């Protein structure tokens, strides 16, 4: 292949990569916007002074032998949820987070993102708060749509994260080539 033909081929490749880069960016702009904002918030959640992620409060004992049974703590958490927040809220749990080192048990509810922190030993209420970081995480990974549409197995999340991961890979490859391609073309021009 002669030098001019090689440069024409390189220029064509650059145009194709630029077009792919531009179309992918335009098609997924709103999704990239949400992913970037939620990623920023999630990165800062532990440094938000309890705004995004409630701080973990300290219970009275870290000795598990002194703790109440988990089912008793669960019943207490449900009572607190209904008494302190709303009696109409679902009691379906997302997770139970046992913090032995802090003497705390966190009950995080699934459908409304409320969290109840109890002292593991006494069952005393340490904190009740909305967990905004969980809402943000669900927006970030697309699972908020699975909750909204009540899908059975997180299908929307899988499709959404796959599309976003492939798009990021395409952006990385095309962006690199848009940076490197002209350098390569200038080098080949200088060699002539």
Residue 137: the pLDDT is: 96
Mean pLDDT of 96-109: 97
The pLDDT tens digits of the residues spanning 105-129 come to: 999 999 899 999 999 999 999 999 9
Mean pLDDT of 129-151: 95
Distance CA 186, CA 192 (A): 10
DSSP codes, 39-82: HHHHHHGGGSTTSSSPPPPP-S---GGGSPPHHHHHHHHHHHII
Give the residue among 19, 5, 32 at the shortest CA–CA distance from 167. 32
DSSP codes, 165-183: HHHHHHHHHHHHHHHHHHH
42-74: buried (b, 16+ CB within 10 Å) or exposed (e) per residue? beebeeeeeebbbebbebeebeeeebbeeeebb
Residue 190: the pLDDT is: 63
Please give the structure tokens belonging to residue 99.
């913090």
Give the residue among 126, 159, 122 at the shortest CA–CA distance from 142. 159
Residue 192: the pLDDT is: 59
Distance CA 2, CA 27 (A): 38
Mean pLDDT of 65-89: 98
The reply to whether the predicted model has a pTM over 0.85 is no
Residue 172: the pLDDT is: 92
Mean pLDDT of 101-106: 98
Q: Reduced to 3 states, what is the DSSP secondary structure of residue 96?
A: strand
Distance CA 119, CA 58 (A): 7
> Rounded to an integer, what is the distance from CA 105 to the centroid of its chain?
23
Answer whether 127's CB lies under 8 Å from 84's CB.
no
The pLDDT tens digits of the residues spanning 39-56 come to: 999 999 999 999 999 999
* pLDDT at residue 36 is higher than 90: yes
Please give the structure tokens belonging to residue 130.
């909305």
């Amino acid at each position: 292949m002669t030098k001019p033909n090689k440069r024409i081929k390189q220029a064509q490749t650059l145009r194709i990569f630029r077009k792919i880069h531009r179309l992918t960016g335009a098609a997924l702009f709103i999704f990239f916007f949400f992913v970037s904002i939620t990623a920023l918030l999630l990165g800062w959640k532990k440094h938000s002074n309890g705004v995004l992620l409630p701080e973990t409060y300290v219970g009275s004992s870290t000795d598990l032998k002194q703790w109440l049974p988990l089912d008793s703590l669960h019943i207490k958490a449900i009572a607190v949820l209904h008494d302190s927040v709303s009696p109409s809220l679902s009691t379906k749990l997302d997770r139970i987070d046992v913090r032995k080192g802090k003497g705390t048990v966190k009950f995080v509810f699934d459908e409304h993102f409320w969290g109840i922190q109890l002292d593991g030993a006494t069952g005393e209420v340490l904190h009740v708060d909305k967990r905004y970081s969980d809402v943000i995480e669900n927006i970030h990974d697309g699972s908020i749509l699975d909750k909204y549409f009540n899908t059975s197995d997180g299908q929307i999340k899988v499709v959404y994260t796959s599309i976003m991961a492939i798009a990021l890979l395409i952006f990385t490859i095309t962006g690199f080539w848009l940076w490197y391609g002209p350098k390569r073309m200038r080098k080949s021009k200088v060699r002539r």
